Structures are given as C-alpha cells and as structure tokens.
Amino acid sequence: MSTPEPYKIKTVESIYQSSISERQKWIKDASYNLFNLKSQQVFIDLLTDSGTGAMSDKQWSAMMSADESYAGSRSHTLLGKAVKDLFGFPYFLPTHQGRAAENVLFSALVSEGNLVPGNTHFDTTKGHIEFRKAKAIDCTIDEAFDTHHQHPFKGNIDLKKLETVLASNPKGEIPFIIVTITCNSAGGQPVSMENMRSVRKLADQYNIPILIDSARFAENAYYIKTREDGYREKDIREIIGEMYAMADMMTLSAKKDGLVNIGGLIACRDETVYRSASTFNIMFEGFISYGGLAGRDMSALAQGLYEVTEFPYLESRIKQVAYLGENLLKLGIPIQEPVGGHAVFLNALEFLPNVPREEFPAQTLAIELYMESGIRGVEIGTLMADRDPVSRENRYPALEMVRLALPRRTYTNNHMDFVIEAVKRVWTRRENISRGYRITREAPILRHFTIELEPVE
C-alpha cells in the first residue's frame, strides 16, 4: 500500500514555469550561483528543506494566540514545555535559527586550539568552529563516502577515529563531541541508537560532553524505528527521549523538523552552560525569553515540534524522498544510497565524469539541471567545502554532490515525477558536458553563498 499524506491542502501558491532561454539569461545574470536567483525564476525549489515547508492550520492558530511580551511570555513557556517533553532538557534558550544557536553556545564553550570531533559537521557548524580558530574533525564511518555502499546508518561515527581524537587530548582541548542527526552533509543519513550509545560510553570514559546537532531529529528517529532491531514497536517520541537521554546539550535549527519558517534553540542539562550561553544570547540574539523570535514564532514551533513526531507524517515525508531517489536509481542515475531523509544527493563525479574536479562538477550539474527545467538544487561539494583555513588551497571533499532537498508538506509526487524526468534529460546528454566553471569572486569564509562564477570556455 502506498502511504498518502495524512493531511489535505488548504492554501496554494502559484509557481511559474519559465523557458530555457529565460533561464539561460537569469543564471548568467546570477553569476552562475543558484543562491543569486530570484524565487520567481525557479519552478521547483529544492535548494533547501530549511524554512521552506508548509505550516499546519494548528500552527497558524497558535500564532494568533501567541504572546508578544518581551519577558516571561506564554509562548516561551509553551516552547520550554515542548523542549522538556520531547528532549528532557531543563534549560533552553530560543535563538533565531540554528547557526545562531551555534554562535551563542560556541561563544560560551569553544576557544582557539580546541578540537571538535563529530560526524560530518554542517557548514555553518564547521564555520563557527573554524571562526574561533578551533578544528572540526570528521569522524564519520568510511562507508558514508562510498555512495553505492548499502548501510542503514551511514551517519554513524567511527569509534576508532573518535577515540584517536579523544586520546590525543591530554590538555582538555575538546569542549564536546557533535552528533549530527541526521547527518546532512553525508546525504541526510541517520545515526543509530547503538552508535550513539557507544559514543556516550567513550565520552564518559574521557569525560567529554555530547552535543546533538538536531535539525532533523525526528527523521533520524523514524530510521531508528524502521531500521534498527528492537525499535519497531516503540513510539517516535520514546525513541527521541532515548536519543536525547544520551546527550548533554543540543542545538536545533527549527527550520527543518521544527516545521517552521524561522527559529532555533539551545537546550542543556548543565546550569553553568546555560548561564554562560544566556549572556551571549542576550548580546547576540535578544533577551533569554525570546532570542530573536517573535512570540508567534515560538508558539508555532512548540506546535511543530509535536506534529513532526507523528508517525504518519514522518512516513509520508520519508517515503516521498525515497520515491524520488528510487525512481532515479531505476534509471541508473548515481545517487547516495540508501536514499536519505530530507534529500536526494546526485553523485556528480559519476554523473559528469568528463568535467575536471577543478571546474566544480557538482556546481556544473546543478546549473545544467536548472537550465534544463527550472529546478534549483544546491552544490554540496568543493565550493561548499571551501579552502583550507591555513594553506588557502581548495579542499576537495570525498563526495561531490548536488542535493535535491524536499521542503516538508510542500510538493506532491507529480512534482517529483517532473524532477525525475528533468534529471533524466540531463543524464541522457551527460557525455556532452565536459567543461565546468571558474571562480571570479569569493568571500573568505562560507564562500558558496555569494560566490561568482563564469563558464570555462
């Protein structure tokens, strides 16, 4: 039986299907950076699943009954209750989004020379670590970097790699271990409960706290329920409780599994961490009871956190992503396997083998797909990996991918069929694509957002 969406549509938004010649002009004007396109120039927007989903009628109602008091608002209390119910943390601070949570918490905990091991850190997370002259060390299992290798939990941390880092730390230079669930940069791949338990054991042995980067925590819980022995009968909320019982703190970009368009938070068990982070929250975000959010944002988030843990929602969500991925696989198109939770990742090195690495094959593929169809994906490859902070050389990551991220509750499977057809058309003419792009302008950090490019002739 297929899994239909457990909701019906109440509001719709028109989208414009442009012509190839319009798109060729627009992408040139955008300096071949898909972030520079106007949304009207995009037909199906798979740039990100972050802040792009549809809210429910209950969330909109929660916004109307929210409390906009500066201090001690009802909305803040509601959000605190959801955080305590789902994650079990007694302390929390709202922030305006995930990277703001990183900025605030890392200001309190990360300093120059620190090492921060984890499974492939998200780019802003890594950015916030490196900005403080500390080092993010990727301890993801090797299987994650072989896109055809079948492994149910490719987001797992390699315990040997982790222990090597922990053992190299006689002077207390490791403020925490980061577990990113699901692991976005490795392809939206989940982390198993068993792996988290082993990481907890090592963390205890070396007396180091664990931080969960929680953007897609409910999607991770879905995979534990459906793929890990012993969890099939457990409720999603029980699984979430068990995952977070192993953590000391969390950062959350609420724009994904919070089911809201803006928002984030920090939560923790330790009062000292909370007090120290509170000072930075007041400086960077706003008072501790709103942290850069309106009361209505906090109320919508409190409601979204409960909705995202409902199994029928999660099942239709994950199955839509799988529908896209599995239909591409049937055509022989190389993607990260198994299909991840929030996105399908095209393996650009296999898709466009004729484009040299120095000419950014993943960016080239993302541009080709846009010109073909008006679909916007995003490069997760060399442009995003940035330059080495010391040598300033390009870093060539193990995976060079184009991510097609699906906004939550937004597109139907008819849209997915269009995406499948468009990718197929680029795949059919892949042999003719042999030149990529060169950089004409770039920022010193997080360059991919604003980079400017031109085609290599």
What residues are labeled active site? 70, 122-123, 213, 215, 256, 448
Interface residue with ligand F0G among 41, 56, 124, 195 (CB under 6 A) is 124
Task: Measure the CA–CA gap between 253 and 11, rounded to whole angstroms.
Answer: 25
Establish if 23 lies at the interface with ligand F0G (CB under 6 A): no
Q: Which is nearer to ligand F0G, 17 or 450 (CB)?
A: 450
Interface residue with ligand F0G among 78, 86, 89, 99 (CB under 6 A) is 99
To which residue do tokens 């271990």 refer?
A: 177
Establish if 220 lies at the interface with ligand F0G (CB under 6 A): no
Residues 34-73 that bind ligand F0G (CB under 6 A): 48, 50
Establish if 213 lies at the interface with ligand F0G (CB under 6 A): yes
To which residue do tokens 């929660």 refer?
A: 62
Task: Measure the CA–CA gap between 94 and 310, rounded to whole angstroms.
Answer: 23
> What kind and span of H or E run contains 193?
helix 193-206
Establish if 189 lies at the interface with ligand F0G (CB under 6 A): no
Residues 382-411 that bind ligand F0G (CB under 6 A): none
Establish if 95 lies at the interface with ligand F0G (CB under 6 A): no
| Among the residue ranges 16-24, 120-128, 165-173, 415-423, the one whose residues contact ligand F0G (CB under 6 A) | 120-128
Per-residue x/- marks for ligand F0G, 149-178, CB under 6 A?
Answer: ------------------------------
> What kind and span of H or E run contains 238?
helix 236-245
- At 219, list the tokens: 């999607």
To which residue do tokens 């994950």 refer?
A: 318
Q: φ and ψ at 440, to 5 degrees?
A: -110, -20
Task: Measure the CA–CA gap between 249 and 89, rounded to whole angstroms.
Answer: 8
Per-residue x/- marks for ligand F0G, 244-283, CB under 6 A?
Answer: ---------x-x--------x-------------------
Establish if 126 lies at the interface with ligand F0G (CB under 6 A): no
| Among the residue ranges 10-18, 122-130, 200-208, 305-313, the one whose residues contact ligand F0G (CB under 6 A) | 122-130
Establish if 119 lies at the interface with ligand F0G (CB under 6 A): no
Asked if 198 and 179 count as a contact pair (C-beta separation under 8 A), the reply is: no
Shortest distance (Å) from residue 35 CB to ligand F0G? 11
Task: Residue 355: name the closest of 427, 426, 437, 448 by CA.
Answer: 437
Question: How many residues belong to the site for ligand F0G (CB under 6 A)?
Answer: 15
Q: How far is CA 311 from CA 6, 191, 236, 411, in A?
A: 10, 18, 7, 19
Shortest distance (Å) from residue 99 CB to ligand F0G? 3
Task: Residue 180: name the closest of 190, 172, 170 by CA.
Answer: 190
CA angle 138, 144, 150 (to 5 degrees): 160
- At 365, list the tokens: 């593929």
CB atoms within 10 A of CB 172: 10
Establish if 348 lies at the interface with ligand F0G (CB under 6 A): no
Q: Residues in the site for ligand F0G, rule: CB under 6 A?
A: 48, 50, 97-99, 122, 124-125, 180, 184, 213, 215, 253, 255, 264
